[in-house]
Amino acid sequence: MIQIYDTTLRDGTQREGISLSCDDKLRIARKLDDLGVAFIEGGWPGSNPKDAEFFDRAQSLDLKHALLAAFGSTCRVGGGPDDDANIRALLDARTPVCTVVGKTWTLHVTEVLRTTYDDNLRLIEQSLAYLRAQGRRAIYDGEHFFDGYRADREYALETLRAAIRGGAETVVLCDTNGGTMPWELAEIVRAVKAALDHPLGIHTHNDGECAVANSLAGIREGCIQVQGTINGYGERCGNANLCSIIPDLELKLGVKCLPDGHLPKLHEVAHFVAEVANLAPDEHLAYVGKSAFAHKGGIHVAAMRRDVRSYQHVDPARVGNEMRVVVSELSGRGNLMSKAEEYGLDAFGGGQEVADVLNEIKILEARGFSFEAAEASVAMMMRRQQPGYAPPFELVDFSVLVEHRQGRGLLAEATVKVRVNGEVVHTAAEGNGPVNALDAALRKALTPAYPALANFHLADYKVRILDGDNGTAATTRVLIDTQNGLKRWSTVGASANIIEASWRALADSVEYGLTAAQP
């Protein structure tokens, strides 16, 4: 079984834009343990008060699967481990495992540490031996190992031997600069394996876009531990992405790395960590991204409807994800049929109504609409094609006025005239802008007949200019996200007139929300 060593809470937080609170780190640690990783590296206790606080509070974590590790460097040049502040911080963290990073590249020994080769070996061996004598399990991270190996093969190996003499249970080969190619890394790991009869680990960075491939190459050559982060977060271009490595190991290589039945938790963990880190999830990530099993091309969807294996390399449920069909100008009849089934529109057959909706989508996308992220608008097109469908309201007309009034500043006012249950309702409302006023007037007209509308909330409003060369006459696309409790849906409008585009998206949103529960 391959050991998964997660360093999201330490190496992952070195990504630009990530700053986790102590509470954030504790929440992520619990989630990682629930996933079933073998090690959770909580941080560098000697580097900042937050990490020291984390290790203090982490004593109350009831971890079921993972061992907590504290990270730090070898003792300082010119001193020993018994009076070294960094080593003392590792011990004060009270973790069962201490991971120590040391120099394996001669460049770093002479130019960064500014010490001798022999003294660097002393720092490595004594630091690990001291931690082992204090009852800690020790893992050694050979920083810049592959660069060091290319510069001086024998010295790089000697640093690993020093770590082994010091009591390191695993020596980890680090591609710290992330520039090693998979075939080169495999050759070096194979040579190290032959030279050292000791458990090896692999730790790669993604500067050459090879971190996952390098990690898998290292494992195939005999590494028993792989280090990485959730979603590949990390400094510069990131670390090896565990959300790809874990399913690659289990589903492609047939190698266990998580407890039985835990792999389907991966999708949830990936999105949980992104949410806590306050980062938008990368929905194009392999396995865990929303688009990982999304099908857009008409020919693809047609084949998928006959056999789901035709355009999917694994069953998405195995990693906790799901298949999606995307509707766009590239769609075929199968896309719409799949969407009709998804939305429970059983009466939406395979005849002329499919061709009509498909043609309408292609025409509208040519005019600036985009339905990939506005599936509720697609659902409404199909619903309106159903026999006997009666919309909850029909627009008669609307007007929007924006003016500056002395003493009051800017004022937006909208009037809406709609037909509801055979009667024309005429309302007016003010707002802090033209779209807000239009929304308020429409709600005012419809809420007496449809009280549920009071629970609909605008969750997001996005505007994109499509042809900027036309200046203020450019076509504008509007996407509106609406929420009702836990249910959320998206609609789209596009026009050279931003008010018209907004009305289209707004009207679709309200109509969808009022009719979605209907058969």
Question: CA 93, 95, 100: angle at the middle one, nearest 5?
Answer: 85
What beta strand segments (E) does 180-311 contain? 200-204, 225-228, 294-295
Place of tokens 């790669």: 204
Q: d(Cα 230, Cα 239) in Å, to the nearest integer?
A: 9
Helix axes 117-133, 153-166, angle to 10 degrees: 20
Q: What is the pLDDT of residue 494?
A: 82
Q: Where are the alpha helices (DSSP H) in 260-374?
A: 266-276, 298-306, 333-342, 352-366
pLDDT of residue 383: 78
How many CB atoms neighbour CB 387 within 10 A? 8
Q: What is 394-515's CATH number?
A: 3.30.160.270
Contact 488, 512 (CB under 8 A): no
Torsion of CA 146, 137, 5, 317, to 10 degrees: 150
DSSP label of 113: I
Cα-based angle 136, 141, 145 (whole degrees, multiple of 5): 160
Quick: pLDDT tens for 403-440: 887 777 788 888 999 898 888 999 999 888 888 889 89
What stretches of 196-296 show up as alpha helix (H) in DSSP? 211-220, 242-247, 266-276
4: left (phi over 0), alpha (psi -120 to 50) or beta: beta
Amino acid at 169: E
The secondary structure element, H or E, covering residue 173 is strand 170-175
CATH of 3-276, one of 1.10.132.20, 1.10.3720.10, 3.20.20.70, 3.40.50.170: 3.20.20.70
What pLDDT score was predicted for residue 334?
55
Q: What is the pLDDT of residue 435?
A: 87
Q: Delimit the domains of the chain by residue range.
A: 3-276, 294-384, 394-515
Q: Which residue has the tokens 């209907």?
A: 518
pTM value surpassing 0.85:
no
Q: Using alpha carbons, list the distances in angstroms from residue 56 to 51, 71, 88, 295.
A: 9, 14, 14, 47
Q: List, in order, residues 6 or more apart from 369 with CB less than 8 Å away.
A: 361, 377, 477, 492, 493, 494
Confidence (pLDDT) at 353 = 61
* C-alpha–C-alpha distance, residues 68 and 59, integer Å: 10
Residue 437 CA to residue 402 CA, distance in Å, equals 10
Q: What phi and psi values does residue 450 have, to the nearest 5 degrees? A: -130, 80
Kindly give the confidence (pLDDT) of every residue in the chain, 519 residues in length, as a single tens digit, with 9 standing for 90 and above: 999 999 999 999 999 989 999 999 999 999 999 999 999 999 999 788 889 999 999 999 999 999 999 999 999 998 889 999 999 999 999 999 999 999 999 998 999 889 999 999 999 999 999 999 999 999 999 999 999 999 999 999 999 999 999 999 999 999 999 999 999 999 999 999 999 999 999 999 999 999 999 999 999 999 999 999 999 999 999 999 999 999 999 999 999 999 999 999 999 999 999 989 988 888 899 999 887 777 665 555 556 566 667 667 898 889 998 876 655 445 455 565 565 556 555 545 555 666 666 666 666 666 666 666 667 777 777 777 777 778 888 889 989 988 887 777 788 888 999 898 888 999 999 888 888 889 899 999 899 999 988 888 888 888 877 765 666 667 788 888 888 887 888 888 888 888 888 888 888 888 888 887 554
For 245-299, how does the pLDDT look when each residue is reduced to its tens digit (9 = 90+)? 999 999 999 999 999 999 999 999 999 999 899 888 888 999 998 877 776 655 5
Structure tokens that stand for 385 in this block: 């094609």
Tokens representing 203? Answer: 């730790």
CA atoms lying within 13 Å on the CB side of residue 96 = 8
374 three-class SS:
coil
How many Å separate Cα 7 from the centre of its chain?
A: 16
User: Residue 409 — φ and ψ, nearest 5°?
Assistant: 75, -150
Retrieve residue 151's tokens. 């510069």
- E strand or H helix at 26, and its extent? helix 22-35
**pLDDT for position 329:** 46
- 474 by Cβ neighbours in 10 Å (0-12 / 13-18 / 19+) ranks as middle
Other beta carbons within 10 angstroms of residue 326's beta carbon come to: 21
What is the per-residue pLDDT for 472? 64
